[in-house]
Structure 1
Amino acid sequence: MSKKLKKSFLVLVGIAITLSACNEVTERSGQTTTPASPSPAPHASETLNQNPAIAKTTTNTQTERQNYKPISLSEIADTEARVGSDPKALALSAFGKSGIEGGSQQVTVDYPQPNQAVVIITQLGVADDSVRGIRYRAEFVPTTKSAQAQKQWEIVWAGSQVTCQPGRGHQDWSKELCL
């Protein structure tokens, strides 16, 4: 083989190795080249996507979000009402209703990752002739990165689902309206 052919072959092998390494890194980080659909809270998705270790959680979060009707964060009184040390208290302040006539309210808090909190508020027996229950999902990320400071959480996404009264629409939890 001539020297030029050997050099060309080595260059091609080097390029192939580099491309396969880049592909492997991309697959590990969970990034894709497909365009992402617009998110109601893009800064939240960006925050969650920065750490490849939680790419699976981000996918699960996006899947869960699709099952909820998004709520504009501007509907929450002000920025101060969206930031605090207790995600449960913040979610209850924003979505906990006191007008549940003879109904019940259940609150669950989950921390799927150290940098993510999810609060689900389920209200049954709401005062509505077509809606039997409302479920709110509020997602939080920390605003502080210091281990010494008390963790402050900010609500970055919220959504709702409803279940309908018998004869007034779907009986499962859905983002679709009742009749």
Structure 2
Amino acid sequence: SLILMGCNPSDDALEKSRYQPLNIAEIKGKRIGDDPKAIALDLFGNKETVESEFTEEIKVIEQQAFEKIVILTQMNLPDDKIRGKRYRLEFQFDQSTGKWNLKEAGRQQSCYKSEKPKDWTIEPCP
């Protein structure tokens, strides 16, 4: 297996190849709207009350004028295997409609029982 070492953790978050691609057609919900952050939270954000130390963080990175990447990170999930989930969502602005469209989505996770619980992976959690 290939191990990639990054100096800067935020660079890893942006690296598309480190995410498991999601089939956009199978994502339930609206993928088009005025605000990429709102679309991301609507599609993947936590909807229920969580009792634990759960945290949700969202970052919007402007790539170009008509392209934004949203990184949505959820940590301390109430799950005995999955410690955290991170989504990388790529949005493009459609000038004809004046709306943002979700073009690509990927997911990775960190695992409680892994040898390196702080690392992100696309492998299923043990």
TM-score (ref. length: structure 1):
0.57
Give, in whole Å, the separation in 2 of the partners of 1:157 and 1:101. Answer: 31
Tell me what 1:96 maps to: 45
Residues 151-170 of structure 1 aligned to structure 2 (within 5 Å):
151-165=98-112, 167-170=113-116
Q: What amino acid sits opposite 1:159 in the alignment? A: G
1:12-32 Cα shifts (integer Å, max 9, x gaps):
xxxxxxxxxxxxxxxxxxxxx
Alignment of 1:113 onto 2:64:
yes
1:1-179 alignment, distance < 5 Å? 64-77=15-28, 81-99=30-48, 100-102=50-52, 103-145=54-96, 151-165=98-112, 167-171=113-117, 172-179=119-126
The number of equivalent residue pairs is 111
For structure 2, the 5+ residue unaligned runs are 1-10
Structure 1 Cα separation of the partners of residues 23 and 61 of structure 2 = 22
Query: Using the alignment, how far apart are the partners of 1:169 and 1:94 within structure 2?
Result: 31
Aligned amino acid, residue 16 of structure 2 = R
The Cα shift of 1:177 comes to 1.5
Q: CA RMSD in A?
A: 2.0
Counterparts of 1:164 and 1:116 in 2: how far apart (Å)?
31
Q: Is the 8 A contact 1:101 1:125 kept in 2?
A: no
Structure 2: distance between partners of 1:110 and 1:93 = 18
- Structure 1 residues 169 and 93 mapped into 2: Cα distance closer, same or farther (>3 Å)? farther
With over 3 angstroms needed to count, the CA separation of the structure-2 counterparts of 1:71 and 1:101, relative to structure 1, is: farther
Aligned residue identity for 2:92: V
- Name the larger-Rg structure: 1
Supply the AA of the counterpart residue of 1:64.
Answer: E
Higher relative contact order (CA 8 A, sep 6+): 2
Structure 1: 5+ residue stretches without partners: 1-59
Question: 1:169 Cα shift?
Answer: 4.8
Partner of 2:8: none
Answer 1 or 2: which has greater helix percent.
1
- TM (norm. structure 2) is 0.79
